[in-house]
Amino acid sequence: MDMQKLYLLVPLAPLCGAVIAGLFCRVIPRWLAHTATILGVALAFVLSVIIFKDVIAGNTFNGTVYTWMTSGDYRFEVGFLIDTLTATMMLVVTFVSLMVHIYTMGYMRDDPGYNRFFSYISLFTFSMLMLVMANNFMQLFFGWEAVGLVSYLLIGFWYTRPTAIFANMKAFLVNRVGDFGFILGIGLVLAHFGSLDYAQVFKHAPDFASTTINILGDAQWSLMTVTCICLFIGAMGKSAQVPLHVWLPDSMEGPTPISALIHAATMVTAGIFMVSRMSPLFELSTTALSFVIVIGAITALFMGFLGIIQNDIKRVVAYSTLSQLGYMTVALGASAYSVAIFHLMTHAFFKALLFLAAGSVIIGMHHDQDIRNMGGLRKYMPITWITSLVGSLALIGTPFLSGFYSKDSIIEAAQVAHHHGLPGASFAYYAVLAGVFITAFYSFRMYFLVFHGEERFGKSDDTHHHEHEGDHDDEETSHDHHHGLAPGQKPHETPWVVTLPLVLLAIPSLLIGFIAIEPMLYGDYFKGVIFVNAEAHPAMEHLAEEFHGAIAMGVHSLTTLPFILAFSGVALSWFFYMKRPDIPAAIQRRFSGINTLLENKYYFDKINEFVFAGGARVLGGVFWRGGDVGFIDGLVVNGSAKFVGWLSSISRLFQTGYVYHYAFMMIIGLLALMTYGINRV
The pLDDT of residue 492: 87
Most confident of 174-183, 333-342, 589-598: 333-342
pLDDT band at 480 (very low <50, low <70, confident <90, very high): very low
Q: For residue 570, is pLDDT > 80?
A: yes
Could you give the CA distance from residue 546 to residue 569 in angstroms, rounded to a whole number? 27
Which residue has better confidence, 642 or 379? Answer: 379
Of 272-281, 477-486, 625-634, least confident by mean pLDDT is: 477-486
Return the closest-CA partner of residue 173 out of 155, 158, 160. Answer: 155
In angstroms, rounded to a whole number, what is the distance separating the alpha carbons of residues 132 and 62? Answer: 13
pLDDT score for 456? 86
Can you give the three-state secondary structure of 442-494, one letter per residue?
A: HHHHHHHHHHCCCCCCCCCCCCCCCCCHHHCCCCCECCECCCCCCCCCCCCCC
* Segment 70-87, tens digit of pLDDT: 877 777 888 899 999 999
Percent of the chain with pLDDT over 90: 51
Q: What is the pLDDT of residue 650?
A: 75
Indicate if the pLDDT at residue 621 is higher than 50: yes
Residue 470 clears pLDDT 50, i.e. is over it: no
pLDDT at 680: 66
**pLDDT surpassing 70 at residue 478:** no
Residue 357 has pLDDT above 80, yes or no: yes
Instruction: Please give the pLDDT value at position 1.
Output: 57
Residues 128-172 have pLDDT tens digits of 999 999 999 999 999 999 998 888 888 888 888 888 888 888 888
Average pLDDT over residues 346-355: 91
- If you average pLDDT over every residue of the chain, what do you get? 87
Residue 654: Cβ-neighbour burial (10 angstroms; 0-12, 13-18, 19+): exposed
Q: What's the pLDDT score for residue 423?
A: 92
- What is the mean predicted confidence (pLDDT) over 453-476? 55
pLDDT exceeds 50 at position 463: no
What is the average per-residue pLDDT within 449-471? 64
pLDDT band of residue 563 (cuts 50, 70, 90) is very high
293 and 430 Cβ atoms separated by less than 8 Å: no
pLDDT of residue 265: 63
467 has a pLDDT exceeding 70: no
b (16+ CB within 10 A) / e for 202-211: beebeebeee
pTM: 0.86
pLDDT band for 483, please (50, 70, 90 cuts): low
Q: How far apart are CA 182 and CA 232, in angstroms?
A: 7
